[in-house]
Structure formats: C-alpha cells, structure tokens
C-alpha cells in the first residue's frame, strides 16, 4: 500500500497521457481478480465434475482393450449391428417423441397465449407442476396406467372393448408415452414464452386487412412462432437422445437406447473405453445440434435485423 502511494505521488508530478497508468492497471487487475475469486469455487466444481471426467473418458476412448492407441471404440459403432440398432432406436424414439410433443404442445401453448392472463397462469401451473415433479414419479405413474394389469387395460376390458390386454408398457409405446409426458413442458414453456411476445396489433392488422382467422394464423402467427417452436424442438430432441430413466424402466428391456447402452457397457461390462466413446459421440451430437440451432437462429435474427 505504502509503495503504491509512493508510485502514485511520483506519477502525479509528471504530466502527460500516461499519468498513473501503472497504478490504474494494477487496480484493474485487482478488480478482475476479485471477480474471479467470486467465480472460482463454481468454476472449479464444474471443472472437476464435468470437464475433467469427460476429458478423461475421451482419452480412454482412444485406446482399445489391449491398451493400444486405436479408433476401435469408434469403429465398432459402424461394424456391430447391435450398436447400429441402438442408434436407430434412439433416433426413432427421439423423432416420435419430438413429433408427439409438437402435436400436443403447439395447440396447448397457442391456447395459453390466447387466454386472459389469469386463466393462463392457472393453466400454466398444470404445465410447471409436472415439470418439477420427479421423473421417477411420472414414469411410475405411467407404468401404473399402462401396464398389462394397469388402468387402461382394466378399463377397456371392463367396457368390453377388448378381451386381451393391450401391451402398452414394457415396449416402444410405453417409452414414447412416458417420454412425451416428461418432455412436453420443455417444448411448451419456451414456445409459450415466444408466443407471448408476438404483437397482437400485428394480428389485428392482418384481420383488418381482410384475412380470416385461419389465414391470419397461417400467414402471420405461425411464422412468428417458429423460432420458439424450433428452440423447444431442439431441447426436446437433444434430451431424448440422452434419456435414461424412462426407457430403462418402461422399455421392458426391448427398447435399448443410447444412454442405457452407455450404462450397460460401463456398469455391467466395465468396458470404459466403449462406454466413453458412446458418451463422446452423444456429447458431440448434442453440441452440434445446439450449435446448428444457434447458428440458424443467429443468421435468421440478423437477417430480420438487416431487412429493417
């Protein structure tokens, strides 16, 4: 401190553009260090729990079982039919679930955006509550509803619609229904938020110009809601790719998805190299999809900007 004052006094006597530059630079550095100190515990934790293990796993994935440096762990994905089947299943489920979420979520978000505020916030509770309810609880609920002796089957049999129970759980349909239920809020919430920002005056103008409700929706509202829809779709799709709990509990061992494959390879067979390779590819695909989306949205946003 004393030394610093001395430096300052010395500098103060000297006129010129570099007055106190050194002291100010030191001060700026100290301020940055203070902010870094606030950040460092969080950054350290994230670094230790996410970056280090993933980096380590990536390193492991570059070696084959004999310990030699090779791409065997990755080449396997193209060679073994079981891996290919896993990827196909995963993407199939992801597409179906995302599609189902769009079909169910778009009308819901549209309705919410058109309701008066009070009604909308009450309805929103029904979206947010499941969002914050444990995935396990909701998966369990669907097991109860869909299984062989579950609610749906017993109702249908009681009503005489069917005589043999339908197999709804422990197969693809169970997984799709459960995942759709769990991921639907991830689509509805961003979509609703973006729909709320659509200017009603814009729509009113459309109707005043003679467009009917359907035309107004198709030509004005729907295009304006697309960015929100796109971000919901990307989130849901990406979450599907790495989903574990529901397929593990509701797939009945028949729906083998990417995350389950990772769990089996590491926990059951302790093949860390192979499991790690699966994880690395999953991460890359996830980041690529998110990056692509960001890029498209960014390009679109600037496009709108420059056309103004």
Partner 1 sequence: MSIAPSALPIGMRGIEKRFGSVPVLRDLNLDVEAGEFLTLLGPSGSGKTTLLMILAGFVRANAGSIRVGGDEIITTPPHKRNIGMVFQNYALFPHMNVFHNIAFPLKQRGVAAAETAERVEKALDLVKLQGLGERRVDQLSGGQRQRVALARAIVFEPRIVLMDEPLSALDKGLREHMQIELRALHRRLGMTTVYVTHDQREAITMSDRIAVMNGGRIEQLDKPESLYARPQTQFVASFIGESNFIPVECRNGSVWYEDRRIHTAAATPAAGQYLMVLRPEKLRLLATAEPTSGVNVLNATLSDIIYQGDSFVCYAVLRDGRQLTLRDYCRSDVLAKMPAPGQPVSFGLDAQDTILVAAD
Partner 2 sequence: MSEDVGLPISHRQRLWLYCLGGLVLLFLIAPSIIIVIMSFSDSTLLQFPPQQWSLRWYQTYFGSLEWRDATIVSVKVAIMTVLVATPLGTAAAYAINRGTLRFNGTINALLTASLIVPVILIGIGTFFLYARIGLNNTLTGLVIAHTVQALPLVVLTVLSGLRSYDMNQERVARSLGAGRVAAFWQVTMPQIRFSIVSGALFAFITSFDEVVVSLFISGGETTTLTRRMFNALRDQIDPTIAAISTCLIVLSVVLLSVAQIFGRRH
Q: Which stretches of the chain bind partner 1, using CB under 8 A? A: 4, 8-9, 11-12, 15-21, 23-24, 26-28, 31
- Distance CA(254)–CA(233), nearest Å, equals 26
Closest to partner 1 by CB, 17 vs 303, is 17
Instruction: Choose from partner 2, partner 1, none: what does 147 bind? Cβ within 5-8 Å by kind.
Output: partner 2
Distance of closest approach, residue 10 Cβ to partner 1, in angstroms = 11
Contacts of 187 (CB under 8 A, 6+ apart): 101, 102, 105, 109, 229, 232, 233, 235, 236
State the minimum distance, in angstroms, from the CB of residue 40 to partner 2: 9
Q: Does 46 bind partner 2 (CB under 8 A)?
A: yes
Asked whether 102 and 149 are in contact (CB, 8 A), the reply is: no
Calpha distance 225→192 (Å, rounded): 9
Q: Binding residue for partner 2 (CB under 8 A) from 7, 102, 115, 172? A: 115
Please, which residue, 23 or 145, has the CB nearer to partner 1? 23
Residue 296 touches partner 2, criterion: CB under 8 A: no
CA distance 25 to 9: 16
**Rounded to the nearest whole angstrom, what is the least distance from the CB of residue 10 to partner 2 in the complex?**
28
Least distance from partner 1 to the Cβ atom of residue 121, Å: 24
CB 66 within 8 A of CB 273: no
Question: In this structure, what token pair is assigned to residue 48?
Answer: 């230790």
In the chain, what is the straight-line distance between the N-terminal and C-terminal CA atoms, in Å? 54
Q: Which stretch binds partner 2 (CB under 8 A): 3-11, 16-24, 62-70, 276-284?
A: 276-284
What phi and psi values does residue 69 have, to the nearest 5 degrees?
-70, 115
Of 17 and 160, the one with the shorter C-beta distance to partner 1 is 17
Token pair listed for 280: 């690395």
Asked if residue 207 lies in contact with residue 121, where contact means CB atoms within 8 angstroms, the answer is: no
> Length of the chain, please?
308
Q: Which entry of partner 1, partner 2, none binds 266, CB below 5 to 8 A by partner kind?
A: partner 2
Q: Give the whole-angstrom CA distance, residue 239 versus residue 127.
A: 18
In the complex with partner 1, the residue whose CB is nearer, 5 or 121, is 5
Which x/- pattern over 67-96 shows residues binding partner 2 (rule: CB under 8 A)?
------------------------------
Q: How many CB atoms lie within 10 A of CB 127?
A: 17
Under the binding rule (CB under 8 A), the answer on residue 157 touching partner 2 is no
Candidates 71-79, 83-91, 115-123, 297-305: pick the segment binding partner 2 (CB under 8 A).
115-123
Which one, 7 or 63, has the nearer CB to partner 2?
Answer: 63
Footprint of partner 2 on 256-275 (CB under 8 A): 258-259, 262-263, 266-267, 272, 275
Q: Does 242 bind partner 2 (CB under 8 A)?
A: yes
Q: Using the minimum distance from each CB to partner 1, give the nearer residue, 4 or 154.
A: 4
Nearer to partner 1, 11 or 70 (CB): 11
Question: What are the percentages of helix, strand and coil residues in the chain, rounded to 5?
Answer: 80, 0, 20
Torsion-angle region of residue 64: left (phi > 0), alpha (psi -120 to 50) or beta? beta
Assess 107 for contact with partner 2 (CB under 8 A).
yes
Q: Residue 213 has which token pair?
A: 């409700």
Least distance in angstroms from the C-beta of 32 to partner 1 = 11
Kindly report the CA angle at 98 between 175 and 267, in degrees rounded to 5? 45
């Amino acid at each position: 401190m004393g030394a610093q004052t001395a430096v300052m006094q010395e500098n103060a006597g000297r006129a010129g553009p570099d007055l106190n530059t050194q002291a100010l630079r030191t001060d700026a550095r100290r301020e940055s260090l203070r902010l870094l100190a606030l950040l460092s515990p969080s950054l350290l934790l994230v670094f230790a729990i996410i970056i280090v293990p993933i980096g380590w796993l990536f390193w492991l994935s570059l070696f084959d079982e004999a310990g030699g440096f090779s791409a065997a762990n990755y080449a396997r994905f193209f060679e073994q039919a079981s891996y290919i089947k896993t990827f196909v299943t995963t993407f199939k489920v992801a597409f179906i679930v995302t599609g189902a979420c769009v079909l169910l979520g778009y009308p819901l978000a549209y309705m919410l955006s058109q309701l008066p505020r009070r009604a909308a916030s009450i309805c929103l509770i029904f979206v947010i509550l499941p969002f914050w309810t444990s995935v396990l609880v909701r998966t369990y609920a669907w097991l109860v509803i869909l299984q062989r002796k579950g609610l749906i089957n017993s109702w249908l049999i009681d009503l005489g619609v069917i005589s043999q129970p339908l197999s709804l759980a422990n197969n693809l349909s169970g997984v799709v229904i459960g995942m759709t239920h769990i991921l639907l809020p991830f689509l509805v919430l961003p979509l609703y938020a973006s729909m709320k920002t659509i200017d009603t005056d814009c729509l009113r103008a459309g109707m005043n110009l003679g467009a009917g409700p359907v035309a107004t929706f198709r030509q004005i509202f729907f295009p304006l809601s697309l960015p929100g829809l796109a971000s919901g779709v990307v989130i849901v799709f990406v979450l599907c790719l790495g989903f574990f709990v529901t397929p593990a509990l509701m797939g009945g061992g028949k729906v083998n998805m990417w995350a389950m494959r990772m769990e089996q390879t590491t926990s059951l067979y302790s093949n860390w190299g192979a499991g790690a390779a699966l994880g690395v590819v999953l991460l890359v695909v996830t980041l690529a999809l998110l990056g692509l989306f960001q890029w498209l949205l960014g390009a679109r946003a600037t496009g709108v900007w420059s056309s103004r």
